[in-house]
């Protein structure tokens, strides 16, 4: 570990929270720039809504959402209208703070007027969604699924899904929401960090029982009841690919800002946590995406009255160790040079050199509690590396001899393997490519008015019915509205979401009789075609 940085370059950097934990210029880093911002609840909801506008049937796995506080009047009006159309409709809604995690600040409401507006929503924006009232139950308990997804590359897009995940259970039998049980978090919220404080939480060494189980154990149970498990997996793979496709446009803008094309820089990969809920009919619904899923393989437990300690969690070990191990195998920079893809622990010995020597010398000399706690943490880390399949180093031993091969990969490639089934969905990706093309100055994420005018001129989108004055008005109106929403104010200009809205507006003006996705696809093809024309055939304008 290098808390103060490292002068010599590494092959792989493993950051704790974000891409910007350290300034690095080579190798591979386990975070994408902008991922934290892209999977926040509001940004994710906006990205999913854009895709729902284009492809409503393909993106019906994400609950209907509204963004607070700016869409509160719209939310109240739409709920009132739906109730007028169907008086028997008695919805429940769930409110989630934008930056919240581990269930913090989440609550359920039956009426839009119950949203807590005592200043907190203004300072802490939130997403309100339709609550899924009829989930699949196991042992009369509600549960969700945490699946681990490796985004190995952004360009070209490469996605892997772990073959097993975690099923996290509520600790009180589920009942559909009523005014009496709305506040019973152990019944309605599946967050592990909440339910672990319930007196009914069960720590189990078995993958098939307890309050945290493997997803594979749930699949076995469903299969024994005659459920079509293959179709369920197919639907989950489709959900993951479609969600990543919705997120990649924003990620590409951040990526070109931090790692401009043509300049030296690291390549990125990242493990994401997908939280998925199953309906009674086994349809998977996306709850959220976590940029920093917990990789702990132990949990805190009361060992004796008043004395707590960390004990191994076999269920976590079974799933998470395989994910980390196989991620390292897939991104191993030396893999192409090796006949055997086995990784030795010695490759990573530089992480804990002095601490490991201390462990080898024994911990009997460590007298105070702080050193004992430090030793326990280090031994857990060492055990974790050994669980990955790496060998323990021995300073006096000869160079390691060939070791047995590691288990087969638990990570399954789903993209580009199934690319042909999903490529038609990548329209916003192509809009983002146009946006990046006209950004002009490298390292920026906002498009200035000159860049927007250049886009219009070079793609020949202005005419007698749509003058350059109208172009300027469109730019000002949309940019001002997006900036008023509290989007990034570090630099002025038009963000990607605002550009996408402007692009959709232009497409609707030009191709009035077509469905929206065909309008957008037609305008993209027109712009790409005109930008591909030889330079002598069109007037070039600097992006300024």
Q: What is the pLDDT of residues 2-50, one digit of tens each?
A: 777 777 778 888 888 778 767 777 789 999 999 999 999 999 999 999 9
Give the pLDDT mean for 250-265.
84
Provide the domain limits for residue 220: 135-301+309-336+409-421
Residues 143 and 231 in one domain: yes
Q: Which residues pair with 107 in a beta bridge?
A: 95
Residues 162 and 196 in one domain: yes
Looking at residue 358, its pLDDT comes to: 33
The residue among 299 and 302 whose pLDDT is bigger is 299
Number of domains in the chain: 2
Looking at residue 351, its pLDDT comes to: 36
> Is residue 501 one of the residues assigned to a domain?
yes
Q: Please tell me the distance from the alpha carbon of residue 468 to that of residue 448, in angstroms, as a whole number.
A: 15
Q: Which residues contact 458 (CB under 8 A, 6 or more apart)?
A: 438, 530, 531, 538, 539, 540, 541
- Per-residue pLDDT of 227-242, as tens digits, reads 999 999 999 999 999 9
The residue among 381 and 74 whose pLDDT is bigger is 74
Looking at residue 266, its pLDDT comes to: 85
Q: Is the pLDDT of residue 375 over 70?
A: no
Q: Is the pLDDT of residue 147 over 60?
A: yes
Q: Please tell me the distance from the alpha carbon of residue 143 to that of residue 135, in angstroms, as a whole number.
A: 8
Q: Please tell me the distance from the alpha carbon of residue 158 to that of residue 153, in angstroms, as a whole number.
A: 5
CA-nearest of 247, 8, 16 to 149 is 247
Give the pLDDT mean for 371-389.
50
432 φψ region: left (φ > 0), alpha (ψ -120 to 50), beta (else): alpha
Domain boundary among 355, 388, 421: 421
What does the mean pLDDT of the chain come to? 84
% residues pLDDT > 90 (the chain): 58
DSSP 189: -
> Is residue 12 one of the residues assigned to a domain?
no
Pair 128, 217: CB distance under 8 Å: no
Residues 433 and 414 in one domain: no
> Is residue 285 one of the residues assigned to a domain?
yes
Looking at residue 535, its pLDDT comes to: 60
Domain boundary among 401, 421, 441: 421
**Assigned token pair, 290:** 């976590």
- Per-residue pLDDT of 274-297, as tens digits, reads 999 999 999 999 999 999 999 999
Give the pLDDT mean for 135-163.
96
Q: Please tell me the distance from the alpha carbon of residue 429 to that of residue 255, in angstroms, as a whole number.
A: 13
> Is residue 536 one of the residues assigned to a domain?
no
Give the pLDDT mean for 347-375.
36
Give the pLDDT mean for 473-479.
95
Q: Is the pLDDT of residue 300 over 90?
A: no
- Enter the pTM of the model: 0.85
Residues 162 and 290 in one domain: yes
In CATH, what number is assigned to the domain containing residue 489? 1.10.238.10
% residues pLDDT > 70 (the chain): 82
Q: Is the pLDDT of residue 53 over 90?
A: yes
> Is residue 397 one of the residues assigned to a domain?
no
Highest mean pLDDT among 236-240, 266-270, 510-514: 236-240
The residue among 370 and 192 whose pLDDT is bigger is 192
Highest mean pLDDT among 280-289, 352-361, 392-401: 280-289
Burial call 163-175: b when 16+ CB within 10 Å, e when fewer:
bbbbbbbbbbebe
Q: How many CB atoms lie within 10 A of CB 212?
A: 24
Distances (CA, A) of 506 to 158, 458, 509, 526, 530: 32, 15, 5, 12, 16
In CATH, what number is assigned to the domain containing residue 205? 3.30.470.20
Residues 156 and 215 in one domain: yes
**Assigned token pair, 195:** 């339910």
């Amino acid at each position: 570990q290098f808390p103060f940085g490292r002068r010599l370059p590494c092959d792989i950097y493993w950051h704790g929270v974000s891409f910007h934990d350290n300034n690095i210029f080579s190798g591979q880093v386990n975070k994408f720039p902008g991922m934290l911002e892209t999977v926040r609840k509001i940004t994710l909801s906006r990205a999913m809504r854009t895709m729902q506008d284009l492809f409503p049937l393909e993106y019906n796995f994400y609950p209907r959402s509204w963004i607070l506080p700016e869409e509160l009047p719209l939310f109240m009006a739409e709920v009132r209208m739906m109730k007028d159309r169907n008086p028997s409709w008695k919805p429940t809604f769930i409110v989630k703070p934008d930056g919240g995690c581990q269930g913090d600040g989440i609550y359920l409401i039956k009426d839009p007027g119950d949203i807590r507006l005592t200043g907190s929503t203004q300072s802490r924006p939130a997403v309100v969604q339709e609550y899924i009232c009829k989930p699949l139950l196991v042992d009369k308990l509600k549960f969700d699924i945490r699946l681990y997804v490796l985004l190995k590359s952004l360009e070209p897009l490469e996605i892997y899904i772990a073959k097993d995940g975690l099923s996290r259970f509520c600790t009180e039998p589920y009942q559909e929401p009523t005014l009496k049980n709305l506040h019973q978090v152990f019944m309605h919220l599946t967050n592990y960090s909440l339910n672990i404080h319930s007196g009914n939480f069960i720590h189990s060494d078995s993958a098939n029982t307890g309050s945290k189980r493997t997803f594979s154990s749930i699949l076995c149970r469903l299969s024994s009841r005659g459920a079509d498990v293959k179709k369920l997996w197919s639907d989950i793979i489709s959900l993951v690919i479609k969600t990543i496709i919705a997120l990649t446009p924003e990620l590409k803008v951040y990526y070109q800002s931090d790692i401009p094309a043509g300049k030296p820089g690291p390549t990125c990969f990242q493990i994401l946590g997908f939280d998925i809920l199953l309906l009674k009919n086994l349809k998977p619904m996306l709850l959220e995406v976590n940029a920093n899923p917990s990789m702990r393989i132990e949990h805190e437990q009361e060992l004796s009255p008043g004395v707590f300690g960390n004990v191994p969690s076999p269920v976590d070990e079974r799933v998470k160790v395989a994910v980390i191990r196989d991620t390292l195998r897939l991104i191993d920079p030396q893999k192409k040079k090796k006949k055997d893809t086995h990784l030795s622990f010695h490759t990573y010995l530089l992480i804990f050199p002095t601490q490991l020597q201390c462990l080898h010398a024994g911990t009997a000399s460590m007298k105070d509690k702080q050193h004992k706690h430090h030793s326990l943490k280090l031994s857990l880390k060492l055990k974790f590396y050994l669980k990955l399949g790496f060998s323990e180093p021995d300073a006096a031993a000869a160079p390691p001899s060939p070791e047995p091969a590691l288990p087969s990969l638990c990570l399954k490639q789903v993209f580009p393997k199934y690319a042909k089934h999903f490529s038609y969905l990548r329209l916003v990706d192509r809009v983002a490519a146009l946006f990046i093309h006209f950004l002009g100055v490298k390292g920026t994420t906002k498009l200035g008015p000159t860049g927007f005018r250049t886009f219009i001129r070079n793609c020949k989108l202005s005419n007698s019915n749509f003058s350059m004055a109208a172009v300027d008005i469109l730019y000002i109106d949309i940019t001002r509205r997006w900036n008023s929403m509290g989007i990034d104010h570090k630099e002025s200009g038009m963000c990607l979401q605002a550009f996408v809205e402007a692009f959709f507006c232009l497409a609707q003006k030009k191709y009035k009789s077509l469905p929206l996705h065909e309008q957008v696809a037609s305008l993209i093809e027109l712009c790409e075609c005109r930008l591909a024309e030889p330079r002598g055939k069109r007037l070039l304008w600097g992006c300024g």
